[in-house]
């Protein structure tokens, strides 16, 4: 989403701020629609990474769960929708133990840590009667920011977060 799209989105929010609050059912439907979009966005990003030589895979291990993994790094991001509180919990996992102790690594090669980062919670806040917006640490994240924040630790584990 470009910055112009973001500003149009904000303008839409301001114009519809005087409307009555959406019903719980409307918010639930919007959260479900967002969850479907989110899964498609994760899949697109995993496919794009794979086309660029990063061993990324997308899966849907259960109805309200998504997973993006990097087999080479042994890291995965796991996402779970909680419809009741309209949030997405995410965590990172590692399937590899560090193969060599840091002192045994050659000094010319960067130390690679397979320790997964901490996870968190994305809250889905109502925006009008038929949509929700993702917030992480009280910051609204648009698609590029959201995908970069969530997938960078898995797809680019050697880069600082």
Section 128-149 average pLDDT: 91
pLDDT bucket at 97, cuts 50 / 70 / 90: low
Section 33-62 average pLDDT: 97
- Give residue 20's region: left, alpha or beta (phi > 0; psi -120 to 50): beta
CATH of the domain at 38: 3.30.920
Predicted local confidence at residue 113, as pLDDT: 53
The domain of 69 spans: 22-97+114-154
Maximum alpha-carbon separation in the chain: 63
| pLDDT above 80: residue 58 | yes
Q: How many folded domains does the chain comprise? A: 1
Contact between 70 and 155 under an 8 Å Cβ cutoff? The reply is yes
Query: Which residues, in sequence order, are CB contacts of 126 under 8 Å at separation 6+?
Result: 21, 22, 26, 27, 30, 132
pTM listed for this prediction:
0.81
Whether 58 maps to a domain, the answer reads yes
Count Cβ atoms below 10 Å from residue 129 Cβ, excluding itself: 15
Q: Whole-number mean pLDDT of the chain?
A: 85
Of 14-28, 62-76, 108-122, give the lowest mean pLDDT range.
Answer: 108-122
Whether 40 maps to a domain, the answer reads yes
Q: Which has more confidence, 95 or 50? A: 50
Section 63-80 average pLDDT: 97
Whether 147 maps to a domain, the answer reads yes
Share of the chain above pLDDT 70, in %: 84
| pLDDT above 90: residue 112 | no
């Amino acid at each position: 989403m470009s910055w112009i799209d973001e500003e149009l989105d904000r303008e839409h929010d301001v114009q519809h701020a005087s409307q009555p609050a959406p019903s719980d059912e409307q918010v639930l439907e919007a959260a479900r629609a967002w969850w479907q979009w989110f899964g498609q966005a994760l899949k697109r990003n995993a496919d794009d990474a794979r086309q660029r030589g990063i061993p990324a895979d997308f899966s849907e291990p259960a109805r309200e769960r998504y997973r993006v993994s990097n087999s080479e790094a042994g890291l995965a991001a796991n996402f779970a929708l909680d419809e009741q509180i309209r949030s997405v919990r995410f965590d990172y996992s590692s399937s590899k133990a560090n193969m060599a102790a840091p002192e045994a690594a050659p000094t010319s090669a960067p130390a690679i840590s397979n320790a997964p980062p901490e996870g968190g919670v994305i809250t889905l806040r109502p925006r009008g009667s038929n949509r929700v917006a993702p917030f992480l640490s009280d910051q609204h994240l648009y698609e590029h920011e959201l995908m970069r924040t969530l997938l960078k630790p898995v797809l680019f584990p050697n880069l600082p977060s």
